[in-house]
Structure 1
Amino acid sequence: MSEQRLVRSAGRYDKPVGRRARVVACHLSLTLVLAAAVPAAAVWWPALLDTPGMTAAVVFAALVALAASFALSLARIRLRLELRRTRAKEAELQSLLADSRERERLLNTILDTVDVGIVALDAAGRRLLTNSWQSALEKSAAPAGVAGATEEAQLLLTGQDQETPLPLERRPLRRAASGESFADYLVRFGETPGSRVVSTGARPLQDDDGGFRGAVVVFNEVTGLVDALAAKDDVVSTVSHEFRTPLTSIIGNLDLVLGDSAGLSPTIVRRIEVAQRNAERLLALVSDLLMSANSTVHVHPRRTDLASLVEASLGSAQAHAHASRVSLSMELPAPLWAHVDPLRISQALDNLVSNAIKYSPDGGNVHVSASNERDRVLLHVEDDGMGMTAADADRVFTRFFRSPAVRGGSIPGAGLGLAITKAIVERHGGSISCRSRPGCGSTFTVELPAQAAAPAD
């Protein structure tokens, strides 16, 4: 209750309290007079004709009657005051209840107006609130023939492959009920065609002691954006595929010419070699475009020694590092076992090491190390090159992203290597992060499973 309302309430009760005090005084006075007069009239007149002993008894009876009358009158007055106070409190509570209902109606109107879904959960995972947008979304994802399916476990939810049902423990409400906080978690509601892609996010609610008391989950439809990205990927994939065939033919014919270059002058041979290198570079770029356009990266993990993969990657990059005046080093226990696809992880390591060398234009050091955390293996690729800002580090895994410093430095690249690396690592069930500062180099950390995941029950 606001301060002004309290002041008004106090003012409202001031005058009634004064009037009640005067009424109480009048009642008390009248009661005392009547309580004294009536017994006195009954006592003293007979007492004039009676004995002294009888007079004392009658006086005592009059005093008892006076006390009883006084108590009854006081109780009656107090009862009336309490009744008035109760009625005033009831009126005030009714006013507060009306205000609360009005605010509830306003909140529900706002929640039903916004074009996002909102679900509030309590500490036990029970729903406290679901707005109309979310109810319509869940209705669209209900299985055919099942009317009124509102439980998340009953809904048709899939991942981005549009086929594999989302496990119960990975569904948004279940994750939120367990106290997990997440954002931009994409889930597909319903069956294709007609399914809807929704970006979900959750934030836990805490009490004064920091304990978990529930969560709020938000659902925002991004079907149009995802479809647009898929269409762009289709264009990139088609164009890249069309480039691959003529490039392969050009490289093959250049190889044939260089294989029979006895009658050619050294100048012509050098020019053909330049054309061959650039054609191979274009073919590598086309391969990266094809891979980035393919949303599904196929991996075949097995028990693999990461130390040997890192050693092979550094060996392959040695010539590039020497030309760029970069020193390569590694510090890993051997063997270092992990459950990964050796071919794909080698590709990811090559991208990271190549980037570390490329973005050290003034020379420097590239160091690869590893550490263990429970059932995970962490690989760290560190350089002391040009680095980047925190904002650029957050976007560095986005396809085609290149920081302004890189573009200004005329460093070649298409901004696909790190996006492909991220896709490979995440397909293994791992994660990759970047920590960097301008002029102080960058550190990329890859987290991979040390052992195969236990089979689901």
Structure 2
Amino acid sequence: MAEHLLQRGPARLFRELGPRSQVALCQLPLTLVVAALAIATPFAWPALLHSPLYMSGILLFAILFLGCFLVPWERLAHRPYLLIPILDFLAIGLLRNGAAPLLPGLAVLTVFPVIWLSASGMLARSSLILSFFGPMLIMVPSLAGRFPNLTPSDITTTLLFPLMMLAVSLAIRFASVHVRLQQRELAEKDRELRKLLRESREREKLLQTVLDATDVGIAAVDRSGRLLVTNDRQRHFRRATGAEDAAPGQGHQLIFGQDRRTLLPPEKRPISRAITGESFADYLVWAGEGAEQRAMSTAARPLTSEDGSFAGAVVVYSDVTGWVEALAANQELVSNVSHEFKTPLNSVIGNIDLILDDDALPPHLSRRLLVVQRNAERLLALVSDLTATASSALNVHPKRTDLASLVETSLGSVQAQAERAHIQLSADVPSPLWAYADPLRIGQALDNLVSNAIKYSPDGGKVSISARSSEDWVQLSVSDTGMGMSREDTTRVFKRFFRTESARNAAIAGAGLGLSITKMIVEGHGGTITCESGQGKGSTFTLTLPADGPPPSF
């Protein structure tokens, strides 16, 4: 690169000169040699001062050099300045033939006009002809002086010098062509590089525009955590919170944990985790302090180089403050309402217990009160579960339990509801069917599933419970022939407050809590629950529970 710049320097300087200065500069090397020769002549070869040809040559060189400055070359067309190197042949001929006995080597000065003509850009044929016949005319007078006593050596010597100058001209022409080809290639590469640079800048601008149009903060960092690319949203987050997620030792790091008060240790901050090559999603942190503090859901994916090595990471920040605060408010509301329900329910259950303790109570009233007591206790458990969902905790006390009796009780409690909905109930469960389960909780889960199966079969149909067992696990399946749901809905059906669009359109009552509570109950036993359904094809919910004692993974 440095050599290229040095080579371009003189060329640029030459182009910046005027036409007269350019012509004079081309003539200057030969003029300097002739001037040195003229200065040395009185001391080294005084006899040459009396040679008319020699002195005429010196004078012609002086006139040609002055002509370089005096002639208005810029006003003339067809490169008239090339007359200067042509006349140089004449001046060199005068010098050489005027000083032949003393300085026969002056003919070598013809190399200067040969170089000028060959590199001038004139037609190759013209420059080659001049490069041969110009030196030939210089050598002819000395050859004529030996006539008629010419020898083959004289003729060979006379022809050899013009041929040498012709070879010099050819070499210069080939070198000039090669240089022009290289310059053309360099110019083409330069155009390609400029085009690539322009396209790269356009792509970079497009990428930045796309990033700025997104509603999430984006930060791309290298392997050391140095910021490479970001967008307006992320810059807005930093300005609003006064916090900057960065690698350890960088930035103003007011990044807190989920309690909003404890500063995260350096290795737990999103970018610090990302530059270790870790991928994560939905990692909640709090940025900033006081009223400006914001909840950020972060995600990260690594960047790799061409050889597959780790090169950095992209970290995405989503402002979920509103969602987190709404969820907290919802949980607080559920907790408060559940607490308010517990007091009257405890009173109802307590008074029922007192009535049932009365020996004079008629049997038919006792049976009815037992039903009331059971449902009141279940309602109290549901209220407790609402509180548990608010705190994401649910107590399970498993023991050896006969699931067949729970199925029978569950179907019996919804018999009247099924008859009103024209639903046929059936069970294919061996008795006894032992499992390691909390009877109250599993009864609650079965009630939820059977009640839902009836509720979401508004046009009648069938609801059945079947069972399968192995040495380690017991499965209960609750199936219906109701409206069913889409495959996408089956992936979200166990989320709190989720209700399918078809259920909302059918105005079927519900809060969207039953299945989420059921899932918590089953997972609290170390089991699983799955849903298989199709739109208009009914649904099947399958509970898998430990058969006897906690499984090894529980």
1:80-229 map, 5 Å: 80-83=180-183, 85-87=185-187, 89-91=189-191, 93-94=193-194, 96-112=196-212, 114-121=214-221, 127-138=227-238, 150-151=246-247, 155-162=253-260, 171-173=269-271, 176-177=274-275, 182-191=280-289, 194-203=292-301, 215-229=313-327
Equivalent residue, structure 2, for 1:339: none
- Letter aligned with residue 416 of structure 1: L
In the alignment, the residues of structure 2 paired with residue 205 and residue 57 of structure 1 have an alpha-carbon distance, to the nearest angstrom, of 75
Larger Rg: 2
- Letter aligned with residue 29 of structure 1: R
Q: Deviations for 1:308-333, whole angstroms, at most 9, x for unmatched residues?
A: 95854847735436756434589xxx
Which residue among 479, 498, 502 is the counterpart of 1:385? 479
User: If each structure's helix is expressed as a fraction of its own residues, which one has the higher value?
Assistant: 2
Shift of 1:46: 3.0
**TM-score, normalised by the number of residues in structure 1:** 0.66
Q: Which moved more, 1:392-401 or 1:348-357?
A: 348-357
Work out whether 1:236 is the aligned partner of 2:329: no
Q: Is the 1:138–1:150 Cα contact (8 Å) retained in structure 2?
A: no
Shift of 1:259: 1.5
1:42-81 map, 5 Å: 42-48=138-144, 49=146, 50-81=150-181
- Letter aligned with residue 378 of structure 2: R
Shift of 1:201: 3.4
Shift of 1:55: 1.5
In the alignment, the residues of structure 1 paired with residue 291 and residue 470 of structure 2 have an alpha-carbon distance, to the nearest angstrom, of 47
Q: Deviations for 1:149-202, whole angstroms, at most 9, x for unmatched residues?
A: 632787444554445665767654455556665544433334566431122334
- Letter aligned with residue 380 of structure 2: L
Distance 1:380 1:101, change over 3 A: farther
Shift of 1:245: 0.4
Which residue among 409, 423, 441 is the counterpart of 1:320? 409
Shift of 1:219: 1.4
In the alignment, the residues of structure 2 paired with residue 380 and residue 210 of structure 1 have an alpha-carbon distance, to the nearest angstrom, of 47
Work out whether 1:362 is the aligned partner of 2:463: yes
Work out whether 1:254 is the aligned partner of 2:352: yes
Q: Is the 2:475–2:542 Cα contact (8 Å) retained in structure 1?
A: yes
Q: Is the 1:140–1:189 Cα contact (8 Å) retained in structure 2?
A: no
Shift of 1:37: 0.8
Equivalent residue, structure 2, for 1:18: none
Q: Is the 1:353–1:366 Cα contact (8 Å) retained in structure 2?
A: no
In the alignment, the residues of structure 2 paired with residue 254 and residue 141 of structure 1 have an alpha-carbon distance, to the nearest angstrom, of 57
In the alignment, the residues of structure 2 paired with residue 320 and residue 75 of structure 1 have an alpha-carbon distance, to the nearest angstrom, of 105
Shift of 1:38: 1.7
In the alignment, the residues of structure 2 paired with residue 115 and residue 410 of structure 1 have an alpha-carbon distance, to the nearest angstrom, of 35
Work out whether 1:441 is the aligned partner of 2:544: no
Number of residue-to-residue matches in the alignment: 399
Equivalent residue, structure 2, for 1:276: 373
Q: Deviations for 1:385-404, whole angstroms, at most 9, x for unmatched residues?
A: 23753222222222233447
- Helix, strand or coil at the partner of 2:498: coil
Which residue among 489, 495, 498 is the counterpart of 1:398? 495
- Helix, strand or coil at the partner of 1:385: strand
Any unmatched runs of 5+ in structure 2?
Answer: 1-118, 413-424, 454-461
Distance 1:411 1:34, change over 3 A: closer
Q: Is the 2:136–2:158 Cα contact (8 Å) retained in structure 1?
A: no
Distance 1:298 1:252, change over 3 A: closer
In the alignment, the residues of structure 2 paired with residue 381 and residue 127 of structure 1 have an alpha-carbon distance, to the nearest angstrom, of 53
- Letter aligned with residue 197 of structure 2: L
Equivalent residue, structure 2, for 1:19: none
In the alignment, the residues of structure 2 paired with residue 196 and residue 116 of structure 1 have an alpha-carbon distance, to the nearest angstrom, of 13
Q: Is the 1:139–1:149 Cα contact (8 Å) retained in structure 2?
A: no
- Letter aligned with residue 173 of structure 2: S
Distance 1:314 1:248, change over 3 A: same
Shift of 1:210: 8.4
Shift of 1:290: 1.4
Q: Is the 2:225–2:247 Cα contact (8 Å) retained in structure 1?
A: no
Distance 1:349 1:168, change over 3 A: farther
Q: Deviations for 1:181-236, whole angstroms, at most 9, x for unmatched residues?
A: 55444333345664311223345567889887655332111111221222122222
Distance 1:356 1:114, change over 3 A: closer
In the alignment, the residues of structure 2 paired with residue 225 and residue 165 of structure 1 have an alpha-carbon distance, to the nearest angstrom, of 22
Shift of 1:244: 0.8
Any unmatched runs of 5+ in structure 1?
Answer: 1-22, 301-307, 337-341, 372-378, 453-457
Percent identity between matched residues is 41
In the alignment, the residues of structure 2 paired with residue 181 and residue 207 of structure 1 have an alpha-carbon distance, to the nearest angstrom, of 16
Determine which structure has greater relative contact order: mean sequence separation of CA pairs < 8 Å that are 6+ residues apart, divided by chain length.
1
- Helix, strand or coil at the partner of 2:246: coil
Equivalent residue, structure 1, for 2:129: 33
In the alignment, the residues of structure 2 paired with residue 433 and residue 192 of structure 1 have an alpha-carbon distance, to the nearest angstrom, of 42
What RMSD over aligned residues (CA atoms) do the two structures have, in Å? Answer: 5.0
In the alignment, the residues of structure 1 paired with residue 249 and residue 447 of structure 2 have an alpha-carbon distance, to the nearest angstrom, of 45
Q: Which moved more, 1:87-96 or 1:392-401?
A: 87-96
- Letter aligned with residue 128 of structure 2: L
